[in-house]
Structure 1
């Protein structure tokens, strides 16, 4: 029995993530909003949150850095570490680092060095210098995401990163976008003016002499999530209009904890929240982590993270090539011709599912064009019958 649309997944190619068809169809309608974390900028030479903290201590406190540099990634709070050469305040920072409270660690470091966590502190100057010292060229994943960010005439994407690599990627695609940060971000809507790269945690100012307001420390998160409510109010509105898709985060990233808290409570109170998704990579099957994401109200889209997360890039790149909004028509047509070379009965199930999806997402005129294409390719009757069944599905959907 064919799975219901709620359970159907589509493989866009061998070794790629299997994406829920309901997400692909929502994207075809312009109802998907990507939210990007530090993981997308690591291929461009920029650090994740943990690495950024280690880099700050290398620049500002070599004594603590010597301890942190010896800690393997993923240590837990039972990890024993020698802090005998450190002060009590430094030791407290190391303990917080071990449990992954990186935003708290930076706030503690700022308060110890500058007696403040805002303004032009040493930590913020060094954070800006570190991020500006990274590569200035976007990675391929930035370009794939900017193609997928097209909602049908405008590109809209959200990021918690401070760098401007998404903007550079859009320029390279000959489709420049505006940069918005914190209070200047437009309110979510389906209108064309809701567009650009939206830096909900702030962005580095292009003018090197100007201070960049960044959500960096625990007090910053309290300010913008609790006191001013800039970020949660934005997320609440966006989650009612769009399916949010998280890319470049791990489950324990500090920004992820705050983002999830911003929508999790509303999930039980409002029935108009759209489904949220995350691309989640592991190098071995990990059903417990998948269930952890689901328990947080997020649908995980799993991929194999071996090979430096290449499967994620290839999945997003392939999705952008086959996009219903701005995909490459020649690629889509070639894919259909390839699939129908075999009879439907003999074709692999992923090919049959992809074929059906390309018709299911199409409007009437596009279905006619694609049907003519496969007919000219001398497709067997099984493929043509499938088109009729899909058209019937859509007709029933309109009547129900």
Structure 2
């Protein structure tokens, strides 16, 4: 019996550009990038500090009792940082490396990010769908000389070129970390905006989805 991985590799080699890669949080977690929920919990801690309250050992439970709702990334971000510049400065440390982290190899593209970028460069992949907020994949692609089309909002989808006319399209279905409209809570993730649903339907109709596991 043919190993499924070997079968997929043979198919991708024989059919350039007909597969879309699916990337989840594991690929960036390996680079020490926090998940969206982890960032939200850190924002809860900052909100609790503003209130001079102790939110431990369960920040999410404290916030539910304090605010009467589930922790919401956008609401919390607005509460602890009022201007776009403040928000950007607040979020950068979660997703961008310090000099020390850079020397350690943290918050840098992993082997998996770079392998995907090479597949794109060789023409085997045109579309990458990711739930991650960070820009490690974009960095890996740019290091290979590829400037991807990045779609992280409905507005960007509306003005985007057809997928077949781009060298690479990165679809960030949960948003980008520098945009406060990222999707994070269960309610927000229950249903994607119509523009994303339509785009994803087209991708899954036209391309074979290939999930990628975490790798360092």
Common fold: TM-score over 0.5: yes
**Pair 1:130-2:94 in alignment:** yes
1:66 to 56, 78, 90: 56
**Pair 1:313-2:215 in alignment:** yes
Residue 133 of structure 2 aligns to a residue in which SS?
coil
1:243 to 186, 203, 208: 208
**1:167–1:112: structure 2 CA closer, same or farther, 3 Å change rule?**
closer
Unaligned segments of structure 1, at least 5 residues: 11-18, 72-82, 94-103, 206-211, 248-278, 280-311, 315-400
Question: Shift in Å at residue 45 of structure 1?
Answer: 2.3
Separation of aligned partners in 2, 1:213 and 1:49: 12
Separation of aligned partners in 2, 1:125 and 1:90: 26
Greater relative contact order: 1 or 2 (C-alpha under 8 angstroms, separation 6 or more)?
Answer: 2
**1:158–1:108: structure 2 CA closer, same or farther, 3 Å change rule?**
closer
Matched-pair contact (CA < 8 Å) for 2:21–2:210:
yes
Matched-pair contact (CA < 8 Å) for 1:150–1:156:
no
Separation of aligned partners in 1, 2:63 and 2:202: 45
Separation of aligned partners in 1, 2:122 and 2:207: 11
Residue 184 of structure 1 aligns to a residue in which SS?
helix
**1:128–1:219: structure 2 CA closer, same or farther, 3 Å change rule?**
farther
**1:108–1:192: structure 2 CA closer, same or farther, 3 Å change rule?**
closer
Matched-pair contact (CA < 8 Å) for 2:133–2:176:
yes
Separation of aligned partners in 2, 1:108 and 1:197: 23
RMSD: 4.1
**1:218–1:42: structure 2 CA closer, same or farther, 3 Å change rule?**
closer
**1:137–1:112: structure 2 CA closer, same or farther, 3 Å change rule?**
closer
Where do residues 230-309 of structure 1 align in structure 2 (5 Å cutoff)? Answer: 230-247=195-212, 279=213
**1:196–1:181: structure 2 CA closer, same or farther, 3 Å change rule?**
same
Where does residue 288 of structure 1 map in the other structure? none
Separation of aligned partners in 2, 1:32 and 1:139: 21
**How big is each residue's C-alpha offset from its partner over 1:24-60, in whole Å with a ceiling of 9 and x where there is no partner?**
3442213211121222112322112342232222322
Separation of aligned partners in 2, 1:68 and 1:110: 16
Report which of the two structures shows the higher radius of gyration computed on alpha carbons: 1
Separation of aligned partners in 2, 1:195 and 1:110: 34
Q: Which moved more, 1:105-114 or 1:54-63?
A: 105-114
Question: Shift in Å at residue 236 of structure 1?
Answer: 0.7
Where does residue 322 of structure 1 map in the other structure? none
**Pair 1:40-2:30 in alignment:** no
**Pair 1:199-2:165 in alignment:** no
**How big is each residue's C-alpha offset from its partner over 1:145-196, in whole Å with a ceiling of 9 and x where there is no partner?**
222345727743222222211121122234443433323244664x242623
**Pair 1:57-2:44 in alignment:** yes
Alignment TM-score, normalising by the size of structure 2: 0.68
Q: Which moved more, 1:28-37 or 1:152-161?
A: 152-161
Question: Shift in Å at residue 224 of structure 1?
Answer: 7.2
1:169 to 133, 136, 140: 140
Where does residue 103 of structure 2 map in the other structure? none
Matched-pair contact (CA < 8 Å) for 2:27–2:215:
no
Unaligned segments of structure 2, at least 5 residues: 99-105
